[in-house]
Amino acid sequence: MIDVYFTPTPNGHKISIMLEEVGLPHQLLKMDMLAGDHLTPDYRRINPNGRLPAIVDHAPVGGGAPLPVFESGAILLYLAEKSGQLMPADPRRRSQAQQWLMWQMASFGPMQGQAHHFIRYAPEGQDYPVARYRNETIRLLHVLNGRLKEAEYLAGDYSIADIACWPWTRAIRAIGLTLDDFPDVARWFAAIGERPAVQRGTDVKNAANLSSARPVLTEEQWSNLFGTNMLAAPTR
């Protein structure tokens, strides 16, 4: 059994989709970030970075004690290895899957994540950072479109690279973007959205994550996400 410390955000959905795709037994443990569930010492023992998602595999590859895994890209790699699925065997394709996975983890997710932050959570009037991170997201969508013009999926066949990028493509509408200028991304996005495992994996979706509405946070909730409560959380 795999415990998934889960929140219905793009990074969380990568893991819920992957587990539905490969059919490994798992349970989603819903974490309330506003309440600070990710700040506790117990959770830090699982994820030293204190972010979501993380997993604990109670029957890990290689045996032994339950294995915690953090960072959504590392979790996808671990689950691909464990299941023997969704990572190409061919060395060239395998490298391509790793390249696009790293691209998502280093660029497409973090840049867009900052756009979400400045549009939805920061005090209003953040024109410069909003333009900066939205423009960077648009640039990255052009990069993605270029790849998908030459390949049906990022590594040729459907793989963990697509699973990593799909939920972040879905999230662009919350920062006021569409796929109208990215026809190859739109084709790929629609095809993946038809997959039953993807639909099951995002059933848990929280509509609020797809809206650009500004959530109204209490002082305590804001502090749990961005302020002194977050800073005071123990490291292990």
Ligand X SMILES: N[C@@H](CCC(=O)N[C@@H](CS)C(=O)NCC(=O)O)C(=O)O
Residues that bind ligand X (CB under 6 A): 7, 9, 11, 33, 38, 51-52, 71-72, 225, 230
Shortest spacing between CB 187 and ligand X, in angstroms? 26
Of 13 and 147, the one with the shorter C-beta distance to ligand X is 13
- Cβ neighbours of 129 (radius 10 Å): 14
**Which residue in the block uniquely carries the two structure tokens 């979400």?**
116
Closest CA to 137 of 201, 185, 97: 185
Q: How far is the CB of 133 from ligand X (least distance, A)?
A: 15
Cβ 163 to ligand X shortest distance, Å: 12
Choose between 72 and 96: whose C-beta lies nearer to ligand X.
Answer: 72
Which residue stretches of the chain are H helix?
10-22, 41-46, 72-83, 91-103, 109-116, 127-150, 160-170, 183-193, 196-201, 219-226, 228-232
Region class of 64: left (phi > 0), else alpha (psi between -120 and 50), else beta: left
53 preceded by a cis bond (ω within 30 of 0) = yes
Distance of closest approach, residue 139 Cβ to ligand X, in angstroms:
20
Encoded amino acid at 49, one letter: N
CB of 141 to ligand X, least distance (A): 19
Q: What is the number of helices (H) and of strands (E) in the chain?
A: 11, 4
The answer to whether 53 and 12 are in contact (CB under 8 A) is yes
- Indicate the residue among 3 and 184 with the shorter CB distance to ligand X: 3
* Smaller CB separation from ligand X, 15 or 141: 15
Of 92 and 228, the one with the shorter C-beta distance to ligand X is 228
Number of residue whose CB is nearest ligand X: 51
